[in-house]
Amino acid sequence: MRKVDEYRRAASNRRVDWQDLDSARQRRKYTRRGVQLEARVWTGARDLLATAENISPGGAFLRVELPVETEDLVATIHLPHGRGLHVHAKVRWRRAEPPGIGVEFAGFLEGPWEEISRSA
């Protein structure tokens, strides 16, 4: 019985491995998880509502229409249980229909939205 207890303890201390291969057999650093989470995006003088359609520790896909020249933004993704993920992100790719952007998280931010949006 001691070996089982040691195995369970070791298994519970393991980190989640987010790495895997997607259907196109491209190597991704993190696995994306499908979600439908409200988000808020701030870029320049614009404050927009968005929807996060997938998310990983390294980035997300946000359904939002932004000017083509937008490269950097600040976003809050509203996680379950009232938590918010505040990030500075870089636009990595765009989708025309329906409009959206793939972003890479460049940094995680702390503080109320009003303070965070001013830092963009």
Q: What is the pLDDT of residues 44-95, one digit of tens each?
A: 889 999 999 999 999 999 999 999 999 999 999 999 888 889 999 999 999 9
Residue 120's pLDDT band, with cuts at 50, 70 and 90, is: low
Higher pLDDT, 2 or 50: 50
Write the CB contacts of 73 (distance below 8 Å, at least 6 apart in sequence): 41, 42, 43, 66, 88, 89, 91, 103, 120
pTM of the model: 0.71
Domains in the chain, start-ordered, CATH in brackets? 32-118 (2.40.10.220)
**Assigned token pair, 79:** 């996680």
| Structure confidence by residue, pLDDT tens digits, 3-44 | 444 443 343 344 444 444 444 446 668 888 999 999 999 998
Name which of 32, 5, 30 is nearest 18 in CA terms.
Answer: 30
CA angle, corner 30, sides to 27 and 35, nearest 5?
120
